[in-house]
Amino acid sequence: MIEIDDNSRSAYLSKEISIQSAVYSFTELAVYRDLIERNLRNGIPLVLTDVDERRNVVVMGLDETANVSTADVISKAAQLGIPPEAIVIEQMPIPRTAIDMSPGLTPATPPMRLPLITDYVRPLAGGLQIDKDGRCTLGIPVWYGDPGNQTRGFLTASHCTGFVGTNNGSQWGQPWLSNSIGTEFEDPPLTNCETGYCDLTDAALIDLNSAHDNASMTLPGHVYLTDFSSSTGPGGYAVTGETVPLWTQSPLMGLDVNKVGIRTGWTTGEITGTCATIYVVVRHPDDIQRLTRLPCYIQADTPVNIGDSGSALFSIVYDPDPDGGGFLGILSACVGCDPDVTSQTGVGYYVS
């Protein structure tokens, strides 16, 4: 038995499509955002840019700890031919990756008859705790390879593997490294490093085929739903056995979405940005931490916290209960997360 909050089933069943007039086209705003990225990034403490379709503006997120004149930023943008009315400036904390390196997790305790997503759970599906040398979340099991010769694996965040943009053969376990489940298979390389800020696709593929019998003990395309969902803070952690099968889906502004992660459980919200670019510090293949760009990521207000890295963002179709859904992306970073506060949650950014 699962309990679903008002931001999931009822929202899905009642939501209507709204059409709004716009002064600027998406292409125009994308050009403005590109001008800002290429010309202002080194001169201002920019931590985020986003083409916001709903407000019909380019959002510029500035480091809230820096002393910056917004009028000066708008003036510099105007010199690039960007109308002041096409820009919104927001002060915000610096985003951070959401891998958990703390000794342990302290989720709410559900009835003891049910396992937790932080326990040993089989079959493998999205939402479970996985371990290398820091705890992350299994995003979604997948088939990969050539048609007719496919094997099973799963997706998680690249920064969970220790080094982004390189396959270093990291070993994985569930829930702990001692329970081996797979080996890192593919980690897309960093690109555009000549700009001074390498672009990162923060997703990695872990191979399950050679890890004992774990390849057969998986549910490709499935994510576990826990005992309850929440839109305001941590949701449920208890594995009811119910999963939802997912197919690929494109993100749309305002789409009702879900995520199941080991720190905040099953949480719900909506997509608030479909192409946000943010800057985070991650460990590169040479073992040096560097500021790195995450280009055109999904932003969602589903509650997340440290440890949820790698979890899947997905929609659910209700008929009237969960009957499948759309896979949208893998959690990479969050704003407002605090690893020392169990109940605190932040806003998540997902690679699509």
User: How does pLDDT run across 259-284, given as a tens digit for each residue?
Assistant: 999 999 999 999 999 999 999 999 99
Kindly give, in sequence order, each residue whose CB lies less than 8 Å from that of residue 188, ignoring residues fewer than 6 positions away.
158, 165, 201, 203
* pLDDT of the residue at 187: 97
* Among candidate residues 86, 104, 78, 64, the one with its CA nearest the CA of residue 262: 104
Tell me phi and psi for residue 280, to 5 degrees.
Answer: -135, 160
Q: Does residue 148 carry a pLDDT above 70?
A: yes
**Residue at 229: amino acid letter:** S
* pLDDT of the residue at 110: 47
Q: Using CA atoms, how far apart are residues 186 and 167, in angstroms rounded to an integer? A: 6
Q: Are 155 and 204 in contact (CB under 8 A)?
A: yes
Q: If pLDDT is split at 50, 70 and 90, which confidence band does 212 have?
A: low
Condensed to tens digits (0 to 9), the pLDDT of residues 199-211 reads 999 999 999 966 5
* pLDDT of the residue at 323: 87
Break the chain down into helix, strand, coil percent, rounded to 5. Answer: 10, 40, 45
Tokens of 125: 């599906």
Kindly give, in sequence order, each residue whose CB lies less than 8 Å from that of residue 62, ignoring residues fewer than 6 positions away.
44, 45, 46, 47, 68, 70, 73, 89, 90, 91, 92
**Residue 93: other Cβ atoms inside 10 A:** 16
Q: Using CA atoms, how far apart are residues 142 and 153, in angstroms rounded to an integer? A: 5
pTM confidence score: 0.84
Tell me phi and psi for residue 315, to 5 degrees.
Answer: -95, 165
Q: Rounded to the nearest 5 degrees, what angle is found at the Cα of 298, between the Cα atoms of 4 and 291?
A: 130
- DSSP track, 244-312: EEEEE----TT-EEEEEETTTEEEEEEEEEEEEEEEEEEE-TTS-EEEEEEEEEEEEEEEE-TT-TTPE
Q: If pLDDT is split at 50, 70 and 90, which confidence band does 126 have?
A: very high
Tell me whether the omega of the peptide bond preceding residue 320 falls within 30 degrees of 0, making it cis.
Answer: yes
* Among candidate residues 292, 176, 174, 295, the one with its CA nearest the CA of residue 224: 174
* pLDDT of the residue at 149: 86
